[in-house]
Amino acid sequence: MKNFERDNSIDLIKWIALITMIIDHSWYILTPELQEPFRWMRTIGRLAFPLFCLAIAANVYRQPIGYSGGLKYLGGILLFALISQQPYSRFFESNYLNILFTLGLGLVIAQAVHHRTPSLITAGVVALAVATAYRPILSYGLAGVLLPAVLLAALQARVIETRIVTWSTAALIAVLANTGAGIMLLPDLPARALASISAAALAPLLGLALLQFRLRSIRPVGTWMYPIYPIHMLLLNSLSITWA
């Protein structure tokens, strides 16, 4: 099976996701005196995860029946999930699993929803079971794992009413992935937290708008994006140590 034609609008989404992620992570190396004035960096960062999920959903949506590159796609994500775990744990001083594990599980479920072959459905059920078992330590939790499949359903919707429901659901899942049970405190949250929630909710709609662009030329975001993930955390961590 030949690769399908590259979509520059998906590369645009990946670029924005990558840049907003780095902006978000850069906030952590600021001194305590600067962190509050630069809180907007965290707000911008709420765009990153939903856009990464949309890039996965859009790629799966474009996969023809019988597409054979899904395993290679998943393999690249999981390989760098393992490579990135130690830099991630050091940078965030966290026991959570890094975002690539979440995206990998989300990819499996999205492919099961799209292709609906017995083997992929089985893999999707296993991925969902793993996500449920590890949700306490999974970045963005179970909602994050389900987001690519929800965004895929939104892309597949044809009837206007269904589109409204699916994209609204995607916005809600994006918020839940970013806030978890904290959404129950919505009326009491400070303005900066509400701004972050709004950014997460709007990210799927922003991505939908970006998918309509037909750019003539943009630098492709290929497999080099995977090593960027651990490398940027190692660099930021070394900057943090130097400034300390």
Residue 176 has pLDDT above 50, yes or no: yes
Tell me what pLDDT residue 41 has: 95
The 3-class SS string of the chain reads: CCCCCCCHHHHHHHHHHHHHHHHHHHHHHCCHHHHCCCCHHHHHHCCHHHHHHHHHHHHHHCCCCCCCCHHHHHHHHHHHHHHHHHHHHHHHCCCCECHHHHHHHHHHHHHHHHHCCHHHHHHHHHHHHHHHHCHHHECCHHHHHHHHHHHHHHHHCCCHHHHHHHHHHHHHHHHHHHHHHHHHHHHHCCHHHHHHHHHHHHHHHHHHHHHCCCCCCCCCCCCCHHHHHHHHHHHHHHHHHHHC
Residue 192 has pLDDT above 90, yes or no: no
Residue 1 has pLDDT above 60, yes or no: no
Tell me what pLDDT residue 186 has: 55
56 occurs within a structural domain: yes
The range of the structural domain enclosing residue 29 comes to 8-243
3 occurs within a structural domain: no
Q: pLDDT tens for residues 55-79?
A: 999 999 998 877 766 788 899 999 9
108 occurs within a structural domain: yes
Percent of the chain whose predicted confidence (pLDDT) is above 90? 66
Percent of the chain whose predicted confidence (pLDDT) is above 70? 91
2 occurs within a structural domain: no
* Structural domains in the chain (count): 1
Q: pLDDT tens for residues 152-175?
A: 999 999 898 898 999 999 999 999
With bands split at pLDDT 50, 70 and 90, how would you rate the model's confidence at 26? very high
171 occurs within a structural domain: yes
Q: pLDDT tens for residues 78-132?
A: 999 999 999 999 999 889 999 999 999 999 999 999 999 999 999 999 999 999 9
138 occurs within a structural domain: yes
1 occurs within a structural domain: no
Taking the model in full, what pTM does it have?
Answer: 0.91
